[in-house]
Structure 1
Amino acid sequence: MLEKYDVPVDFKYLAVIESGLSNVVSPSDAVGFWQFLKGTAKDFDLEVDREVDERYHIEKSTEAACKYLLKSYEKYGNWALVAASYNAGTNGIQRLMEQQQARSYYDMLVAEETSRYVYRILAMKLIFENPEDYGFYVEPDEYYLPIPYHLVEVNGKVDDWADFAKDQGISYKILKYFNPWLRQTDLKNRIGKSYYIKIPEPPYNLTHEQLILMQNGISN
């Protein structure tokens, strides 16, 4: 996705320091891998309401993050400032630049968290790309395996996602594991919008515990 939008691929490490690649909720109610606030998410075409919160949708939230980063780059023309603005906000960085008559992130006096931000991204890049240099030894069979899935289009009402899951041969728990952006047990969908639901392929349509074992390359 980053390559598709011509965003430097190293920005994937921004998501690592923002959320640890988990669908977490911050004390300020930022949500998801990319930690979008509700207003910002809507500004970048993510649906956020009672039934659907696309901040939890990894592909759509990543696309929104790419658009956000590109918009910041149009403003600053410098990727270090783009990264800093993701933490401090574009208005906040712009105000500091004007106050300090600075054009470089490295010449600016910023808040402590923002001052560490770019360096944390760089540190993550170094660790992930050279893990053994930093004491991390991961065997090939210890990596999570990608889980194949197919998409099922839903363009109408869903009375009960548990019934939907059963019809697809999976549990409700597995449905939510693959589609955490579904926030309720039903879907009104009054406008008939199309949603695409991830359904894992056999033999991955297992219990959650079996799924975790399968991800780790362990079979019974």
Structure 2
Amino acid sequence: MTATNKSIIYFSLGLITGIFVISQLAFRENNKKEKDKKQPTTQNAPQIFLPQLPAEISFAGEKVPLDRWEVREAFDRELLYNYNSPGHISYLLKLSKRFFPAIEQRLKENGVPDDFKYLCVAEGNLQNLSSKVGATGFWQFMSYTGPGYNLEINDNVDERFDVMKSTDAACKYLKQAYAKFGNWTVAAASYNCGMGRVNDLSTFQQTKYYYDLQLPEETNKYIFRILTFKYLMGNSKEMGYMVDDENGYKPFEARSVTVSSSIPNLAQWALQNGTNYKMLKILNPWMRDRSLKVNPGKSYEVRLPRK
């Protein structure tokens, strides 16, 4: 092999090696750029806005001591979680246009502060829900406690699903708790864990001031959850929620019919009264069967669509 041929071969091998090295470096650089594109940066990451705590707030006329760091942080925690759930808060605001007027009237008639409508929100989200443990309705009564507050509960009728009657029942409980503890905040806390439990804990800790009490974890958060709904829903426009009377849900337009005898077939009865079974159940969720049994001397107010 001549010297010239050897030079050509060495040159070719060097050229091939160089091309390979350059291609590998370019491949790595492209991969790095692709990875960098996938990684969010502080410039393109979504902005998370933090709600500001109010300078002051009260519950049922009782001032919240926001100058205490543990109180401020407990309130801040609940506010953060709920403020950043705009769909949930918007839906509650829409529902409040339907249900708050009647609930507010019932609270006023029973002598219970208006702020307790937000306890109703914290309990049942303004819906007839049932929890895993059996608490039911807007005010989340248990089946064994409801009858003690004048709620009829059986397989045929469950008045925990009647918004007005369950509001009256909740008012009765809250007034008893207020009479026992002397302040509305502790009365509200007892709605979560019971008067007996709160009484035991307050007796041991020698205080009936809610913000000095160490209560079960859920109850520790409970008042701040109520306060959060009061703050967000009571200042909805300022907090960025554009729900008003026009796009909120309207109250049901209904008429009341007194029923004093049993109805064996509610679907047929609904048709005879100018509506249908579906609408009858929507307006009267306390009816729990396909029929309505009415005992002698008993009567029920049944709501039907207004003609």
- Is it true that 1:33 corresponds to 2:138 in the alignment? yes
Contact 1:156/1:189, CA 8 A, preserved across alignment: yes
Give CA-to-partner distance per residue, 1:189-218, whole Å, 9 cap, x none: 23241101001113xxxxxxxxxxxxxxxx
Q: CA deviation at 1:18?
A: 0.5
Alignment of 1:34-183 (within 5 A): 34-183=139-288
Q: Could you state the TM-score of these two structures normalised by the residue count of structure 2?
A: 0.64
- Counterpart of 2:306 (choices 201, 204, 209) is 201
Report the 3-state secondary structure (helix = DSSP H, G, I; strand = E; otherwise coil) of the residue aligned with 1:125.
Answer: helix
Q: CA deviation at 1:133?
A: 2.5
- Is it true that 1:6 corresponds to 2:146 in the alignment? no
The structure with the larger Rg is 2
Contact 1:156/1:192, CA 8 A, preserved across alignment: no
Query: In structure 2, what is the equivalent of residue 15 of structure 1?
Result: 120
Measure the CA separation in 2 of the matches of 1:96 and 1:60. Answer: 31
Report the 3-state secondary structure (helix = DSSP H, G, I; strand = E; otherwise coil) of the residue aligned with 1:152.
Answer: strand
CA RMSD, Structure 1 to Structure 2 (Å):
1.1
Distance 1:45-1:140 versus aligned 2 partners, 3 A rule: closer
Measure the CA separation in 1 of the matches of 2:295 and 2:116. Answer: 37
Q: Could you state the TM-score of these two structures normalised by the residue count of structure 1?
A: 0.89
Query: In structure 2, what is the equivalent of residue 189 of structure 1?
Result: 294
Measure the CA separation in 2 of the matches of 1:18 and 1:79. Answer: 17
Measure the CA separation in 2 of the matches of 1:32 and 1:93. Answer: 23
Measure the CA separation in 2 of the matches of 1:110 and 1:188. Answer: 43
What letter corresponds to residue 122 of structure 1 in structure 2?
L
**Which sections of structure 2, spanning at least 5 residues, go unmatched?**
1-105
Report the 3-state secondary structure (helix = DSSP H, G, I; strand = E; otherwise coil) of the residue aligned with 1:74.
Answer: helix
Q: CA deviation at 1:85?
A: 0.2
**Which sections of structure 1, spanning at least 5 residues, go unmatched?**
203-220
Measure the CA separation in 1 of the matches of 2:152 and 2:284. Answer: 14
Report the 3-state secondary structure (helix = DSSP H, G, I; strand = E; otherwise coil) of the residue aligned with 1:145.
Answer: coil
Measure the CA separation in 2 of the matches of 1:10 and 1:139. Answer: 20
Measure the CA separation in 1 of the matches of 2:184 and 2:298. Answer: 36
Measure the CA separation in 1 of the matches of 2:300 and 2:244. Answer: 38
The structure with more helix, counted as a fraction of residues: 2
Measure the CA separation in 2 of the matches of 1:190 and 1:131. Answer: 47
Give CA-to-partner distance per residue, 1:167-208, whole Å, 9 cap, x none: 111110000000000000012223241101001113xxxxxx
Q: CA deviation at 1:119?
A: 1.1
Report the 3-state secondary structure (helix = DSSP H, G, I; strand = E; otherwise coil) of the residue aligned with 1:132.
Answer: coil
Give CA-to-partner distance per residue, 1:117-171, whole Å, 9 cap, x none: 1111111111111112222112442011222211111111101000110011111
